[in-house]
Structure 1
Amino acid sequence: MKRRAAIHIISAIAAGTAIPPGAIETLFSGLDDSLGRPLGLSEWEATVHEYGQVVGTLPAGELIKDLIADIVAVGELLNRPNSTDDRAALMRVNAGLAGVLAVDFGDVGEKRAARMSWAAARQSADASGDRDLRVWVRGKAAQKAFWTERPDSVVAELASEAIGIADGTPSAGLADAYAARVYVAAARGDTDRVDSTLDDLRRVFDHLPQDTNDQSALAFRESQLRWAESYARTWNADPRAEVSLEHALSLYPSNAFAPRTNLALMKAAVMINDREIEAGLQHAITTMENDYRRCAGRAQLVKRVLHTLPGNARTLPAARELHAFTTAT
C-alpha cells in the first residue's frame, strides 16, 4: 500500500497534477504500527542532516522523490516486529525526513501535502520524546505556514505551541517560532510587536551554540537572524533596512539561491521606498529573471514590492512586467 501511494505521489509531482486523496495518509500510516529494531540509525541521522544542508540550494521539489523513498524505507523499519530499543531514534529520523519533505512540498505549492507532512513530523517528534525536536517541527512549521499564506491564526498557534513546549530552553526551533512571530508582526505593520519579538529572537539566538559548519534544517544560524531583521525593517520602511540587508546577504553562501533572491527582492522594495522607483522595479525584474526557482513566499514578496509603489507608479510597464511573476512563482 505504501509503495503504491509513493508511486502515485511521485507520478503526480512529475506530471504537475494534484496528489491523489489519501496518498499522503497512506504514506505515513506506519507511525502507529509496531516498531522493530532498525539497523544503521547513525546513517539515517546523517541522511537527515544531508537533506537539511541541500534543501535550500536546489530547485523546489528536487528532493521529493528521494525523501518519499526514504520515508517508505523508514516505515518498513517501523513495522519490523522486533526490539523497540531504537524507537525514539527512529522517530527522530522520521520527524526530520517529514519536516524536510514538508518544506519541499510547500515550495512547489502542494499546500495540503505540506500540511499533512508537518502533521506527521509533529507526531513523530512527539513520539520520540525529544523536546528540542518537538519545538523545531512546530517553530519551522509556523514559519512555513506564514510563507505559504496560511491564516495568521495558524502561524500564531504553531509558534505558541513551540514556545510553550520549549519552556524557556533555547533551541533552533524556539528561534524559528519567534522568527515566525516577527514575520506576522511585520506584515501587519505592528512596529511595537516587531521590536519586542525581535528582542525575544535575539535573546534566544545569543544562547544557541554556534557551529558554523552545521547547515542542517534543524539549525538556526546568524544568517537567519539577520534575514528576519531585514524582513521586518524592509516592510516597516526602517532606515536601517539597507544595511541590514547587506549584512544578511553577506552571510549566505552563493548557492543559497532562495534566501539570496528573497533578500534581493527586499532590496528592490528599499529602493522604491527611497524613491528610486524605476531602478527598484528593474532590480526586482532582473532578480526574478535570474532565479527561476520556485519557493514558498516568492509571490508574496513580489506582491509586497508592488505594494510599496506609489499609486501613480503601479501602471508603469515595469510594474506590469513584475506583476506577471506573481502568477508564475
Structure 2
Amino acid sequence: MASAVNAAYGTTLTREYVSNWERSRVRPGPFYLAALSATLDVPLAVLEGQVDRRAFLTDVAGAAIAPVVASDLLSAGFAARLSGGPTADAWEAKLATYGTEYMSLGAADIQRRVSAELVAVQQQLDNPRLWSVAARLMTLYAKTFPGSDGARAVHWYRMAAQAADESGDDDTRVWVRGRAAIALGYEGAALGVADVLADQAMAISDRPSLGLLNAVFGKAHAAAVRGDRATARRLLTEGWHVFDRAGSHEQTSDYAVPWWRVNVFVSLLAARLGDEATAVAAQDAARAELPSSLPRFATHLEMHRGLMLTRSGDPSGGSAHARTALDALPPEKHSLTLRLLMAEVERT
C-alpha cells in the first residue's frame, strides 16, 4: 500500500509509518490526510480527527469492519482507485461466487472477505451498474450480523436499499429489500424494519420475482412471530403463487430460491404457526431435494422440528432436539441465524 501511494503522490510514506498509524502511535499529517481524502473519495473533514485505527475502520471503511486490518482495507481501496478496479462483469462474477459460498461458509469468513470488496467497489461508483453490485454486497455483509443487535444489520440493510436506489434498477431495488425482509423475518428480529422493507419492495414492483418472493415470505414470518396468524397464512398462500412464477432452478446460491429452499421458509413459518402437518410436509419436501453439500440447511430443518415440539407442549424435548441438531453441525458451519433459531426454541 505504501509503495502505491508513494508512486501516485510522490510521498515518502513507509510501511513502518502505516503500521504505527494502525496502532494509533502516530497521527497522519495534513498531506497524508489530503492524499487519503482524494484517493478514497472521502471528505477531508471526515478524516480529520478520525484517524486512529478504530475510528478509521468505522467511519471510512464502513460500520464495524473489524475482521480486516486497516492496511488491507487501505490497500484494497487505493488499488481499486489507482487501477480503475474490476470491470462490471468481473464484479458480477464475484457476486455469483459469494452467492454460492455464503451457503456453506461461516459468517466470520464472509464478513472478512466482503468488507474488503466493499472498500474496493466504493471507488468505482461513478458507474451506475456498480451501485447494484455494491447494494447486493452490502446485503450479504448485513447478513453476517444478527438482526437482533438492533443496529449493525439494520444499518447495512438500509444502506443497501439506498445504494440499490442509486442503481436505478428496479430488480435490484426489490431484491435487496426482499432479501433483507426474509433475513430479518426468518430471524424474528427487527420486525418493524422487515415490514417496512417488504412493503417497499412490493410497492416498487408487483412483478413476480425472487425479490418479491423474499419480501412476501419475510413479511409472513414477521406476522407469525407477532401472532398474526391470519396475515401470515394469507401471505403464505401469496408466496406460493409468486414462487410458481419466479422460483429458481439454481440450487446452491443465496441469490436463488429453488423448491427445497422455499420449503425451508415454509417449514419454519408453519412451525411458528403451530401447523404441524404443513411443517412436516415442507420439511420432507425440502429434504428430498436439498443438496448434500449444504448440511447447514438440514440443521435448520431439524431445529424447526425442535420448535414444533416446544409449541406442542414439550419444551425440554424440543430444546434437546434442536440442540442435538446444532451440535452435530461442525462449529465452522454455524451461522448467526442458527444461533438465533436456537434461542427462539429455548425461549418458546
Structures share a fold, TM > 0.5? yes
> What is the distance in 2 between the residues matched to 1:277 and 1:200?
32
Give 1:149 deviation, angstroms.
4.9
Q: How far apart, in 2, do the equivalents of 1:63 and 1:303 lie?
A: 23
2:179 to 128, 140, 146: 140
Query: 1:91 aligns to what?
Result: 131
Q: Quick one: distance in 1 between partners of 2:289 and 2:54?
A: 40
Query: Which of the pair has more CA radius of gyration?
Result: 2
CA deviation profile, 1:166-211 (whole Å, cap 9, x unmatched): 2x11111111111111111222332221221011111111111532
Q: What is the TM-score normalised by the length of structure 2?
A: 0.70
Q: SS at 1:27's partner residue?
A: coil
**Residue in structure 2 matched with residue 246 of structure 1 by the alignment:** 284
Q: Which runs of 5+ in 2 are unaligned?
A: 6-17, 24-52, 64-76
Q: Which amino acid aligns with 1:172?
A: L
Q: Residue 268 of structure 1 aligns with which residue? A: 306
Name the aligned partner's letter for residue 211 of structure 1: H
Q: CA RMSD in A?
A: 3.2
How far apart, CA to CA, are the structure 1 residues paired with 2:171 and 2:274?
35
Identical positions, percent: 26
| The one of 54, 58, 62 aligned to 2:105 | 58
Q: Deviations over 1:15-59 (max 9, x none)?
A: xxxx946734422599xxx9x976522111010111011112112
Runs of 4+ in 1 over 6 A off after TM superposition: 275-278
Amino acid of the structure 2 residue aligned with 1:224: R
- Separation of aligned partners in 1, 2:318 and 2:190: 29
Question: Residues 278, 75 of structure 1: CA spacing in aligned structure 2 closer, same or farther, 3 A cutoff?
Answer: closer
Contact (CA 8 Å) 1:111, 1:148: kept in 2 or not?
no
User: Residues of 2 paired with 1:20 and 1:101: CA distance?
Assistant: 19
The one-letter amino acid paired with 1:52 is: G
1:282 to 317, 320, 333: 320
**Residues 309 and 315, structure 2, Cα contact 8 Å, conserved in 1:** yes
Q: Distance in 1 between matches of 2:143 and 2:297?
A: 14
Distance 1:149 1:22 in 2: 32
- Structure 2 CA distance for partners of 1:289 and 1:186, relative to 1, 3 Å: same
Deviations 1:45-89 (A, max 9, x none): 0101110111121122211222122222212233xxxxx5xx222
Of the three residues 167, 190, 202, the one matched with 1:163 is 202
Alpha-carbon spacing, 1:272–1:113, altered in 2? closer, same or farther (3 Å): closer
Question: Which consecutive residues of structure 1, in runs of 5 or more, have no partner in the other structure?
Answer: 9-18, 79-83, 309-329
Judging changes above 3 Å, is the alpha-carbon distance between structure 1 residues 281 and 157 closer, same or farther for their aligned structure 2 residues? Answer: closer
Residue 94 of structure 1 deviates from its aligned partner by 1.3
Matched residue of 2:237: which SS? Answer: helix
Give the whole-Å Cα distance in 1 for the aligned partners of 2:246 and 2:104. 24
Partner SS state of residue 160, structure 2: helix
Q: Which of residues 175, 187, 198 in structure 1 aligns to 2:236? A: 198
